[in-house]
Amino acid sequence: MSTQQITKAMKMVAAAKLRRSQEAVMQMRPYAQKLNSIMANVSAGSSIDLSQNPYSEVRPEEKILIVAVTSDRGLCGGFNTNIIKAVTSLLLNKYAAQASRGNVTILTLGKKGTDYFTKADKKVISNFSTIFTKLNFEEARKAAERVMEGFVSKEFDKVEIVYNEFKNVATQVVKTQQYLPIVSLEDTAVKASATDYIFEPNKEEIVKDLIPKSLKITFYGALLESGASENGARMTAMEKATENAGEMLKDLRLSYNRTRQAAITKEILEIVGGAEALASN
């Protein structure tokens, strides 16, 4: 009974956190979409060559960074397991050659990922493993800047983020997204529209400032998606655990009553048998 009460309380806490994290995701998505739209409009039909931007430089994929976004705590179903499986699959398949040379680094965001990949003896950066203790844009910005600086300094040739994308309470989709080098706008779903902007100071400076800002927003958005997914997964897991506890209690009560009834019946039979034996004497 006490276990059922605990799981029920955890479900309620997760539900309350889910509402807040879901609101944050819903507010972030339009902002990120609008920023990408502005980027597409500003660069469309202009003489700006985005490929010359340091964050767009395509190099031979020798040194890889995988950002693994997990949670700090468990009891959330397959939330962390799915991320670990996706990262492991990248290590064994897509980046097997680089991994064999020790050229794949994992930046873990969340204690569960840090614990797993550290024990698995992987090359781990865990400076931001507690980022979800107090998730906000400032903390996400620091982690994003670490990744961006690593790419510009050629510490990494390619960066991918693996996280859970929030769909609804019961559905979280593992997403592997190329973070750096940035994907060409022609390769994305963002389409430029005929918008007339007044540029101050000039278009080149604006694009130069928008790209790093867009990267930081994308990084923060992935963390918000993961946070909402975690709460949704924990709410679903605790709801199922509460139901299972109820079923177990029902089975235990039935088993107890049957055993008790059998013991009473046995005692009655023994009393009756003893009485009959005395009567026959």
Q: Residue 240's pLDDT is what? A: 86
Which residue ranges make up each domain of the chain? Answer: 13-186+198-236
User: What's the confidence (pLDDT) of residue 5?
Assistant: 85
3-state class (DSSP) for residue 122 = coil
Q: Calculate the dihedral angle through the C-alpha atoms of 85, 88, 92, 93, rounding to the nearest 10 degrees.
A: 60
CATH code, residues 13-186+198-236: 3.40.1380.10
pLDDT value of residue 7: 87
CB 165 within 8 A of CB 173: yes
Q: Which of 143, 135, 138 is nearest to 25 (CA)?
A: 135
Q: What is the model's pLDDT at position 197?
A: 62
What are the residue ranges in the chain where pLDDT is below 70?
1, 40-52, 184-203, 281
Q: Please tell me which residue in 18, 39, 65, 76 is annotated as part of the active site.
A: 76
Q: Tell me the whole-structure pTM to 2 decimals.
A: 0.83
Residue-level pLDDT at 149? 96
Amino acid identity, residue 153? S
Nearest 5 degrees, angle CA 236-CA 227-CA 16?
55
- Give pLDDT tens digits for 81-118: 999 999 999 999 999 999 999 999 999 999 999 999 99
Element (H, E) at 42: helix 2-43
User: Is 76 considered catalytic here?
Assistant: yes
